[in-house]
Structure 1
C-alpha cells in the first residue's frame, strides 16, 4: 500500500483525540454519574481519576512491549483496550464496574499517549517530527471539544452519561482499523533484522537517497547500548532529571487537568446550572482549539524558558483573578462573566505554553543512551502527579472552597516561575548532540545565553 504522510498524521492524531475525548467527556458525565450512583466527593473523585491509575500502568508497560512485539501490534492492542473500556463504561450497572472499566480504559490512554507519538516520529520525515508534539496537543484539544459537544447533546437523555462515555468506542475502532492498514515501524524492523522490509516501507514515503541515509542512521543507533536506571541517575545527567521530573510534576500541580476534568463543577460552584455550565464549556473548548492551533504555529519562535516562564506567570495570575471572581460573583444569578474570562485565560495560557512545551523539552534534555527510558519514567511521573491532583480536588474543594484552592494553585504557578529560572536550561536552537555535550561538560547554563527571547 502506498502510504501517504496525511494518513500517518491522521491515525496519529486519533491517539491524541482519544486521550482528549476521555479527558473532556468525564468533565460533564460526572455530574450525572454522581446523581445516578449517589456518590460523595471522594467517590466521584475516584471515578474521575481512576483512569489515571491505569494510565500509569500503560505508560510503564508500553515501551518494553512495543520493543518486543512491535509498534503496530501495540497500536492495535491499545485501540482494542480503549474500545472495550469505553463499551464497559457505557453498560456499567454499578460504580464498581464503572471504575474497573475506567481503569482498563486508562491502560490504553497511558499506552497510546506514549506509543502513538513514538510510532509517528519513527514513520514521519525528520523535517516534520518537530511539529508532532504540537499537533498531538491540538488533537487533544479537538478531542475535548468533541466531548463537550457530546456532553451537551446527551445531557437530557436518561442514559446520557452512558452514551457520552460509550461514544469513545467510535474513534477507538477507527484507530484499530488504522493499525491494521498502517505498516510496522522501520526502526523496529531494523532492530529485529528485517532491513529489507524496513527499506520497502521507507521507499513509499521517502526518496531513495533519504531511505538509504535513514537506514544507515537506524542501524548505527541500534548498535548503541541502552542505559540502565543507575546510569539515568548519574551525576552528569542529574540536571536533565531535575528539569524533566520538575516540569512533569509542576505541569499537573499547576491545576491544568483539574480545570479540564472539573470545569462544569467549577462553573456550577460559581452559580451556573448544569446545562449552562456544559454550554459554557463548549465555548471554552472552541477557544482552546484556536489558541492551541496558533501556539503550534509560533512555538519554535521563542525560547523554551521564556515560554514556560510567561506561561506559568499568566496561569498564576489567572488563578488569583479567578479566586477574586468567585468572591465578587458569589451571589449573582445567571452567567458569571468574570469566572468565564479567567478560566479561559488560564487554559489558553496552558495550551500555548506548558501543554506542548513540557513534552517537547522532556524529549530534548536527555542523552540518547537513556532517552527512551527517561522519557518513559517522566511520563509515569506526570501521570502520577495528574492522579494526585485529580483524585483530591473534589475533597479539597468541599473542605477548603474554590477561592482558597485557586489561590493555592496560583502559588504553585509562581513556584514554577522560580523553578524555570533556576533549574531549566534552554534547548531551542541546539542539536540534541550539543545539549548532550553541555551535559557531559557540566555547562548547561551556557545554553541559556543564545538568542534574544
Structure 2
C-alpha cells in the first residue's frame, strides 16, 4: 500500500478511500494506545546523550583545583574560567548545526556524530599535559553537548506514542540530573588520589561509546524517513515502535501533512518571518525566559550562597541535586496527566515565589537576622530548583518539537537551542558582576519579574499538547487551506 516514492510525491501514499475509512475508525485506534514498552528501549538509549550533557556540565566542578595544579595554571582565574566555559562555546556551535545534521544524516546518525567529539574531546582532556590541550578537549566535548539535546528532543518526540510522549520527554531532564550527580560523585576522590581528574574524563567515554554503538540497533525516526520519501521504511519503523495495529493510522496521520515541499531547503529567514514565525517566536521566547529566570545563576553560584548561610559545599551540592532530581521525577509522573501548560504555569509561578523568598533573605541578612536568613535563603533556593525541575526545565525541550511543523522541526530546534546557549553564556558571564553592582535584592527582584512575565506569556501563547498527535498539533497551530 505504501510505495517508495520521491519526497515531492507523497500524495498517493495512502489510497483516498482507505484513508477515509481509517480516519472513520480513528477513535478505535486511539482508545487502545500503543504499547509503551516497544519504544522504551529506543528512548532510553537516546537519553544517554542527555546524561553525557549533564556529566560534562559538572565534570570539572570538583577537580578544577587539581587540574589547575597539574597543568600549571593554579591561581589564574581567567584560565580556570575558560576550562569551565569553553565547552559552552563548543555547545553553541554544535547546537547551531544540529538541525542541518539531524535533517541531513538522520536522527540516529546525528547521535553517533554527537558521541564522536565527546569521546575524542574527553580523551584529549584526560591525556593532556597543557592548558591548551584541556581547552581543545573541552571545546570538542562542547560541540557534542550542543548537538545532543536538540536531537534527543526531536527523536524522543518523533518515536514516542502520544499517550506517553510527555513522560518520555521528562526522561531527558532526569538523565541530565543523573549526569550532573554522577559527575559530582565520581569527582569526590579527586583530593585524595593524584591524577583522579583524568579518570573522571576517561569514564565519560564509556557511555559515549555505548551511545554510538547502541544507536546502530535503534529505530530511525519515521517522520524523518517519510520526509526523505522512504514511506516503506517509515512504516517498518512505526511497526517496531508502536506494534502492528496503530501503524496504518500513523501513516495516514503523516500523509495529512504532506505539502509537497519537504525537499526544499529551510532558510533562516523562513523561521523568522511568514507563517512559521509564531511557533518559532514561542519556542525562542520560552528558552529565553527559562535562562533569564536565574536558574543557571543558581546552579553556577549556589555554593557561595550556601556558604554565606553556613552550609558546607558538599552538602549544598547534594541538596541541589536531590531537589532537581525530585522535581524531574514528579514532572515525569504528571506530564501526561496534568499537561505541559499547567506544569509550566505552576513551575514559573513557584519560581517567582522562590525568588521573592531570596529577596526577603537578602533583606534579613542586611538587618542581621542570621537564623531567618539561613531558612529563607536555603529554603528559597531549594524551592527554586524544585519548581524549575517541575516544568520550566523539562517542558520547553519537549513542547518545542511538538509545536514545530515537521518540515522545520530540526532547524527550528537548532535556532531555539542557540538562543538558549547564548543567554546561558551571558548569564554565567555577568551574574557576579550584576550581583556586585545591583545588590542581591534588586537582582533577585529582576529574576522574580522575569518568572512572573513567563507565567503571563505561557498563559497567553502556549497551547496544550497533552495526548495529541504531532499532526493534530501542527494542524491546530498552522491551519492551511
TM-score, normalised relative to structure 2: 0.77
Bigger radius of gyration among the two: 2
| Counterparts in 2 of 1:368 and 1:179: CA distance versus 1, 3 Å | closer
- Pick the aligned partner of 1:51 from 64, 87, 93: 87
Aligned match of 1:147: 183
Partner SS for 1:426: coil
What does the per-residue CA deviation read over 1:287-336, in whole Å, with 9 as the maximum and x for residues that have no partner?
A: 32122111221134446454333322322332342354466569979x95
- Pick the aligned partner of 2:414 from 363, 376, 383: 376
Aligned match of 2:425: 387
Range with greater deviation from structure 2 (296-305 or 73-82): 296-305
Aligned match of 2:453: 415
Q: Which runs of 5+ in 1 are unaligned?
A: 443-453
Partner SS for 2:261: coil
Range with greater deviation from structure 2 (381-390 or 59-68): 59-68
Separation of aligned partners in 1, 2:274 and 2:109? 37
| Counterparts in 2 of 1:283 and 1:376: CA distance versus 1, 3 Å | same
What does the per-residue CA deviation read over 1:21-60, in whole Å, with 9 as the maximum and x for residues that have no partner?
A: 2223344344555666235555444432322221121122
Q: Which runs of 5+ in 2 are unaligned?
A: 1-36
Aligned match of 2:323: 287
- Pick the aligned partner of 2:392 from 333, 338, 354: 354
| Counterparts in 2 of 1:27 and 1:414: CA distance versus 1, 3 Å | farther
What does the per-residue CA deviation read over 1:330-368, in whole Å, with 9 as the maximum and x for residues that have no partner?
A: 9979x9554432221110010002012222332344444
Separation of aligned partners in 2, 1:202 and 1:434? 18
Aligned match of 2:111: 75
What does the per-residue CA deviation read over 1:216-239, in whole Å, with 9 as the maximum and x for residues that have no partner?
A: 555665664245444433355444
Separation of aligned partners in 2, 1:339 and 1:235? 46
Deviation at 1:420, TM superposition (A): 3.6
| Counterparts in 2 of 1:29 and 1:396: CA distance versus 1, 3 Å | farther
User: May I ask how many residue pairs the two structures share in their alignment?
Assistant: 435
- Pick the aligned partner of 2:43 from 9, 31, 40: 9
Aligned match of 1:424: 461
Separation of aligned partners in 1, 2:252 and 2:471? 18
Aligned match of 1:234: 273
Aligned match of 1:21: 55
Partner SS for 1:427: coil
- Pick the aligned partner of 1:249 from 288, 291, 294: 288
Partner SS for 2:463: coil
- Pick the aligned partner of 2:206 from 164, 170, 173: 170
| Counterparts in 2 of 1:116 and 1:267: CA distance versus 1, 3 Å | same
Aligned match of 1:308: 344
Contact 2:153 2:401 in 1 (8 A): no
Separation of aligned partners in 2, 1:288 and 1:184? 31
Separation of aligned partners in 2, 1:29 and 1:13? 25
Contact 2:319 2:382 in 1 (8 A): no
